[in-house]
Amino acid sequence: MFEKSLNLPWQCFGLPKHRVSPSAASSVQLPNILGFCLRGHQLPPNPNTPSPFSCSRLVVSVVSKHLVELRICRAYYDLFHSPILVFYSVMLYYNHNVYYGIPAVHRFAVNGDQTYSWKLQDNLKWIEVSHKTTRMPRSPNKTLDLCPEMPPRLEGPLKVEFNTKRTLESVKAEASYSLQMGGRYKPSDCISRHKVAVIIPFRNRHEHLVHWLYYMHPILIRQQLDYGVYILNQDGEGIFNRAKLMNVGFVEAQKEYDYDCFVFSDVDLVPLDDRNIYRCYDNPRHLAVAMDKRIIFRGMSISRPDGVTGKYRMVRHQRDKHNEPNPENPGKLSRTKETMDNDGLNTLSYTVKEISKDLYFTFITVDIHAPAS
C-alpha cells in the first residue's frame, strides 16, 4: 500500500465505503475513487542524488455516463531532501448522460533551469501493483520512429448503427486487422505515442459488447495507439458499481503492461468520428460532448473535443436489473468535500474470480463485495 511503501501520512482519496445503516445498505451504490501520482513538484538540486527525479506519467480518460471529479492531495516524504510530492486522485460519480476523461501530465519535475528525472515506479511499490510488464515484439531489424501526432489514416465521420445482428464470431470473421491475445495491439510501422488501457465496466451486456468491439478496434488501430481492452465483469447479483469496477480495472491493467493512459468507456457508447482520439491530453478530457456539469473542486480544467468530433451513439436499452437509481446518491455527493480524504485505491477491496483472454479483450470477473440489491 502507499502508506507502507512510501512511509508517509497519506492524506488522499474520497468517499467512505458504504457507511450506512444495515436497513439502507440494499439501496446504496457508492463509487470508489482512483488515485495516482502524477508528478514531482519543484525538487531542489541535490549533489548526492545519483539520478534525477520524476513521477511516472500516468493518465486517465473516461467515456462514461457518470460524473468525474478531480482532487488534489499532498504527501510529505523525505525523498532527496524534497519535502513535497503532488498527487492527484480521481473521483468517479454517478450521473446520467455525462462522459468525462481524465488525463495527463508532466514527465519531469523542474527547478529553475534544471530538470530532474528519476523512475519512481522502479524504486517504490505502488498500491501493490507489480510493474513487471509484457511487451509485444517489434521487428529486431527495423528502427521505428514515433508515430505522427495526427494519425494519417483517420476517416472522420463514421456510420454507426446497431440494427445489424452481430456475434463475436461474425465480428472476428469480418476483421481485416491482426490483434494479440487479450485485445492488445500496437502499430507495426511506428512507435505509438500513447500506451492506453481501455477499461469497460460490464455485466450482462454481451450484445452491446459485440457492437463495441466491432466498431472500436478499427478506430483504435487507425488512431495508432498501443492499447489493450479490459472488460471488468461484476460477479454476483449485488448492486452494480461501475465506479469501483473502473478502479479495479485500473489496478489490474497495470499488472500486465506499463500503460500511461487509461480510458474508461461504457459498453454501449461508440464515437461517431474517429478524430476523437483516445489519447492522453494535458488536462482532464471529456471525450463525449454531453450534458455539461462542473466537476472540479480545485486544480484543473476539463478539455473537450468540439461538437462535431465529440458525438457518440448509444445502444438503446432498458435499465438493468440491480442497477436502479440510488436515491441516496445526491446527499452523499453533496458531502464529498468532507469525506474525500477517507477512501480510495488504498482501501479498494475486491476478489478476482477469473481472468480469461480472448483475441479481442481481456475478460476479468471480479467480486467487488457489493451490497445486495
Please list, in sequence order, all residues whose beta carbon lies within 8 angstroms of the beta carbon of residue 153, skipping any fewer than 6 positions away: 222
CATH topology of domain 2-134+145-367: Spore Coat Polysaccharide Biosynthesis Protein SpsA; Chain A (3.90.550)
241-245, 288-292, 293-297: least confident range: 293-297
Give the per-residue pLDDT at 93: 35
Asked if the model's pLDDT at residue 153 lies above 60, the reply is yes
Residue 340: helix, strand or coil by DSSP?
A: coil
Give the per-residue pLDDT at 56: 36
Give the per-residue pLDDT at 324: 62
The residue with greater pLDDT, 153 or 42, is: 153
pLDDT-based confidence at 334, cuts 50/70/90? Answer: confident
Measuring CA to CA, how many Å separate 330 from each of 75, 101, 247, 295, 334? 30, 22, 21, 14, 6
pLDDT-based confidence at 330, cuts 50/70/90? Answer: confident
pLDDT digits (tens, 9 = 90+) for 22-31: 333 333 333 3
Amino acid code (one letter) for 250: F
What are the boundaries of each domain within the chain?
Answer: 2-134+145-367
Please list, in sequence order, all residues whose beta carbon lies within 8 angstroms of the beta carbon of residue 24, skipping any fewer than 6 positions away: 328
